[in-house]
Structures are given as C-alpha cells and as structure tokens.
Amino acid sequence: MRHVVTAFGGCIILIVLLAAIFAPLVAPHDPFAQDLMQRMIPPEWMDGGSPAHPFGTDQLGRDYLSRLLFGARISMAIGIFTVITSGFIGITLGVLGGYFGGRVDDVVMFMITCRLSIPLILVALTVVALVGSSLTVVILTLGLLLWERFAVVSRTTTMQVRNLDYIAAARAAGASRLHIMLREVLPNIVSPLIVVATLEMALAILLEAALSFLGLGVPPPLPSWGLMIAEGKDYMFFSPWVIMIPGIALFVLVLGINLLGDGLRDSLHAGRA
Amino acid sequence: MTPILEAANLRVTFGTGVAAVRGISLGVARGETHCLVGESGCGKSVTALAIMGLLARTAQRSSDVLRFDDYDLMRMSEREMSRVRGDKLAMIFQEPMTSLNPAYTIGSQMAEVLERHRRVSRAAALDRAAELLARVGITAPGMRLKQYPHQLSGGLRQRVMISMALMCEPELLIADEPTTALDVTVQAQILRLLQSLQRELGLALLLITHDLGIVARMADRVSVMYAGEIVESAPTAALFSAPSHPYTRGLLRCIPVPGSVRRDEPLGSIPGVVPRIAPGFVGCAFRDRCDHAIPDCARVVPRKSAAPGHDYLCRLDAA
C-alpha cells in the first residue's frame, strides 16, 4: 500500500516534469498569444467550451492548457533550483558544524537560530520588492531562505557518523578533513537529505505561488501557476475554473512531492532499522 | 639500532578530570612485535591514538620524546601527520564490522589509500589491492574488490583492514585489539597472518591486547600497562618466567595452564577495580589492590631493573 502511494507521488512528479520539459511540443497554442475575441472561453467539458481550447482561455484570450503546461516549467524550475541552492548552503553549514563541533558548531547553530527567527514570506516579499522580480531573483531569495532544515538534518546526522569507526579508520589511513567530510561522511547522510529535499521543494513551489499571487513573484506575462490564480481572482465568481485549474495543478504537484517524500522517509527508515 | 618508534614520558589527559596515560616510555624496534597489554580502561588504546595523533580534541597530549622514524610526531601539523598516516605508519582497529565505510566497495576504499600517498593510477592501485587480498588469504580477490563491506564476514573484513593497512608498505603497524571482536578460530588465523606478514615484510608491530595468550604467542617484547602507566616491560620470555610487578604476577595467575591448574580449583583473580586517576595522583596506582602494599607505596615509586632490558615500577625487589 505504502509503495503504491509512493509510486503515485513519483508518477505525478514525473508527469509534471515531462510536461515542463516538453511543453513547447505538447502545448496546443502559444501561451503568450492573446486573442481578445476568444476571452474567457470555459473548458471543453462545460457549456460553451470548444475543443480548440481544452481548458478554456483566460481574460486575454490566451490558451489555458498551454499556460498551465508552461507554468509547470516555472514551478519545476523554482522547486529544483531552490533546493539546489538551499541544499548547498544548508548541507555545507550542517556538515561543517557537525564535523568540527565546538566553535564552528556554535556559529552554525547561531545562524540556524537567526534564520528561524526570520519571517519567510515577509523577507521574501521585501527582497523581491526591492530588487525587482524575476525568476532568478525568486530562486535566489528562496534558496537563501530555505536552507535551515538541510543544515539541521545534515548537522545531526554528521554528528552521528563522525564518531563511527570507519571515520577513525579513514583518518588513520591518512585522509584529510575535507576528504572525510566529502567522501566519508556525505555519502552516508544522503538518504535523510533526500527526504528534506522533497519537503523543501514542495515548500518552495508553494512560496513562489504565494509570491506570484501577491504580485511579487515571477513577472507577467510568464505563466506561473500562482500568477494565473492572481490574474483570475477578479473573475472567480462567474468563471471559477480560472482559479480552480491552476489551483488543482498546484495542489496535485505538491501532494505528489509530499507523498514521494513520505514514502522515501518510511522506506529509508525501514532499511536502516 | 635505534627503534623505529620511541616515546618518552608520554602523557594524555582529558580535560582536568582524567589522566589516561601518565608518562609512559616505550620503544619499538624495526621488525619487532611489541605487545602492550593491560585490562580495559588502562590507557592502551589512548596510547595508540596519541601516537597516531588521532586523539579527540578534548585530550591534551604531552611528551618529552615522541618520534617515529625521522618524524618528531609532537611537532607535526595535522597536514603533515595525514601524509604519514596510512603510509609509513598504519593502524588497524578492534571493530572490523564498522571500520569500513558502507558506502564504497572494498576495492575503491583500498585503492584510495594508495592513490592518496603515491602517484598511481586507479588500475595499478586495484592491482596492488588484489595482490594484497590474495596475500592475506582471501580467495577470489577480484570478486571481493567489487563487493561492499556488508557482503563480507567479520574475519574477511579484518583481513581487508589488514591488507588496506599494508597498501603503502608501512614500517610500523599499530594493531588495537585486532582479534577481540572475532570468534576464536578466526582469531587464530588472523594472528598467524599478522605473524607471517610481519616476518616477511620486516614490519614493526605494536600490538595492543588484553589477552596474555596472544602476548605469549606473538610478542618479542611486552609492556604491561596499568592505570595509564607501564608497570613492567620485558622480553616476553623474561616476563613470563620472572614477572616482577605484583600486577603482572596477578595477571599471570589468572591464566589457566593445562596440567598445573586443577579442575576444581578456582583461577586466580585480582580483587578490586582499576581506579580513576586524576592529574596530580602520586604513588602506586595498584596499591589498593596489592597484597604487598606498604605505606611507602603512596610516595613516588622508583623504576627498578630486574635484568638488562627488564624493568618494573614497584618498591618490591625482583622475584
């Protein structure tokens, strides 16, 4: 049962990833092409829908399915690159603190504590408002903010691994500290970090949607799912599907990532016991 | 001939509370097997780690002399030490089950040691690893090189650890209870292996153990440690025939000897436990457990010589 759920999560991510990669090939229309004669066409299955626009069109007559597919690119890019940035920062700090202990660890712990005292959304909003919004700015901002869970997890796991016999054996064989951290410790703490990565990826995608909804994330006319919801909110009473479609897409993707993360955590735990 | 390893007045303390090693002096000659014997917690392993420079950061090490080959180990930086460790100075540990990194194959871990210290290709390093695995009695070394540690038994892993320690042809091998975690038949095989390797390669071996049977079998020279001090040091034959320190005598009484120990008679034992020694402790650490203790034992104890090359730390005269 658990395997089924994990695989289900994995499938969702795979489908969204494929959609993101092959968006230009799969999308029926240009996601940026406006056609004011074709505004607010409902999805195909509703009254007044047309087979030319399976998910309908938005208030500027752009094909909603195409925007959704291109929006997957934004979400996946945000998720992946944010996790790479924050993972690099967090794991570096965590392994250093966990391996060296003492002063170094005090500094790392202080940085983690500071980071935890920062209100995420507010700082992200301020930074994006000051620097100006672009995909890169959003990725870097989120990456610089979301590293603390990586740091906490890699720090504690490094502390456990540090005292194992094979670390002493590696030192006795002449391994340098850098070598021990990168080659002896890191491969043995990877599995909990993968779980953290999935959680952070989901969080980053949701935060980007929130920022875009507030108008400070990815700039229009890029088709971010959060931005689609923001642009659709004025029409939601008469055409609820304009926010429901990107909303469901967001929900399903984040659900998939979390299911995969939970499944991985359980199976890695089982493997360890 | 000058010994390859020489320590004089080596001390290790942890914080302000525990003096783990209290001024020990020992020398290991080239090609010699020197056994460091004593009960748990007497400072044997700490001595080994102090020589390797692998003590925890909370430990303070001091020494009048701590020399290996031409290296003054007290003055070397961490970087210089890591160049010597695993090259001329190698060590194997007690727990073969956990001394190999579970994330890498045997071959990659072994090859890495050689690549770190010599300019060799991975292929050449793997050849050397296969050759050594065969040398330590592992059949099908080619297959073993591709395996992960969890696929090997404890005895095999200890053989791997030994061959890994031999990758760079070390001059001194420190073995910290290399057979304690293994079952008895495997123990005998590993000891025989160490012995033959030592003879063939002219390796100096500092063997740490608590098993006097191993000492009798392996050692050229024995140092008996008690509470952080070497209480008696002698050539093996002399130690077994004429033990001079009451602790050594007590230890020897604890070994069953076929023929001379009767079945219904209890074996000897030493009452009491090893005391925890704080810095500043004066006198004989064994006095609370010793049958011959006199009030003078609370003062500084002289080191006496029982014979050339045989000294002990006690007020008593040699037996």
Of B52, B102, B116, the CB nearest to A188: B102
pLDDT tops 90 at residue A157: yes
- Chain A residue with CA closest to B100: the answer is A166
Computed over every residue of chain A, the mean pLDDT equals 85
**What's the pLDDT score for residue A269?**
62
Residue A119: other Cβ atoms inside 10 A: 9
The residue written with tokens 């994006």 in the block is: A128
For chain A, domain boundaries: 2-272
For residue A174, the distance in angstroms to the closest alpha carbon of chain B comes to 4
Q: Is B60 a member of any domain?
A: yes
Asked if B113 and A168 come within 8 Å (Cβ–Cβ), the reply is: no
For residue B265, the distance in angstroms to the closest alpha carbon of chain A comes to 41
Dihedral angle sign, alpha carbons of residues B54, B56, B57, B62 = negative
Average pLDDT over residues A214-234: 81
pLDDT tops 60 at residue A112: yes
Q: Is B243 a member of any domain?
A: yes
Q: Taking CB atoms and an 8 Å cutoff, what residues of chain B touch A164?
A: 98
Give the model's confidence band at A205: pLDDT under 50 very low, under 70 low, under 90 confident, else very high.
confident
* Local structure of residue A53 (DSSP, 8 states): B
Q: Write a three-state SS string for chain B.
A: CCCCEEEEEEEEEECCCEEEEEEEEEEECCCCEEEEECCCCCCHHHHHHHHHCCCCCCEEEECCEEEECCEECCCCCHHHHHHHECCCEEEECCCCCCCCCCCCCHHHHHHHHHHHHCCCCHHHHHHHHHHHHHHCCCCCHHHHHCCCHHHCCHHHHHHHHHHHHCCCCCCEEEEECCCCCCCHHHHHHHHHHHHHHHHHHCCEEEEEECCHHHHHHHCCEEEEEECCEEEEEEEHHHHHHCCCCHHHHHHHHCCCCCCCCCCCCCCCCCCCCCCCCCCCCCCCCCHHHCCCCCHHHHCCCCEEEEECCEEEECCCCCC
CATH number at residue B186: 3.40.50.300
What is the number of structural domains in chain B? Answer: 1
Give the model's confidence band at A109: pLDDT under 50 very low, under 70 low, under 90 confident, else very high.
very high
Q: Report phi then psi at A120, rounded to 5.
A: -50, -65
**What's the pLDDT score for residue B138?**
87
Q: Taking CB atoms and an 8 Å cutoff, what residues of chain A touch B100?
A: 166, 169
Asked if A176 and B86 come within 8 Å (Cβ–Cβ), the reply is: no
User: Residues of chain B whose pLDDT is less than 70?
Assistant: 1, 261, 318-319
Q: Is B82 a member of any domain?
A: yes
Q: Say whether residue A182 is in contact with chain B using an 8 A CB cutoff.
A: no
Instruction: Encode pLDDT of A22-31 as tens digits.
Output: 878 877 777 7
Of A101, A172, A188, the CB nearest to B103: A188
Give the model's confidence band at A271: pLDDT under 50 very low, under 70 low, under 90 confident, else very high.
very low
What is the C-alpha to C-alpha distance for residues A7 and A17, in angstroms, rounded to an integer? 15
pLDDT tops 90 at residue A104: yes
Of A169, A176, A179, the CB nearest to B93: A169
Q: Is B132 a member of any domain?
A: no
Give the model's confidence band at A154: pLDDT under 50 very low, under 70 low, under 90 confident, else very high.
very high
In this structure, which amino acid lies at residue B283? G
Asked if A187 and B103 come within 8 Å (Cβ–Cβ), the reply is: yes
For residue B158, the distance in angstroms to the closest alpha carbon of chain A comes to 12
Half-sphere exposure of B246 (CA within 13 A, CB side): 18
CA B216 and chain centroid, separation: 14
What is the C-alpha to C-alpha distance for residues B207 and B191, in angstroms, rounded to an integer? 10
* Local structure of residue A42 (DSSP, 8 states): P
CATH number of the domain at A2-272, please?
A: 1.10.3720.10
Of A101, A176, A184, the CB nearest to B101: A184
**Domain enclosing residue B217, as ranges:** 5-88+168-313
Q: Is B248 a member of any domain?
A: yes
Q: Taking CB atoms and an 8 Å cutoff, what residues of chain B touch A165?
A: 93, 95, 98-99
Q: Is B128 a member of any domain?
A: no
**What's the pLDDT score for residue A272?**
47
pLDDT tops 70 at residue A273: no
Q: Say whether residue A130 is in contact with chain B using an 8 A CB cutoff.
A: no
pLDDT tops 60 at residue A190: yes
Contacts of A196 (CB under 8 A, 6+ apart): A87, A149, A150, A153
Q: Is A228 exposed, middle or buried (0-12, 13-18, 19+ CB in 10 A)?
A: buried
**What's the pLDDT score for residue B319?**
55
Q: Is B298 a member of any domain?
A: yes
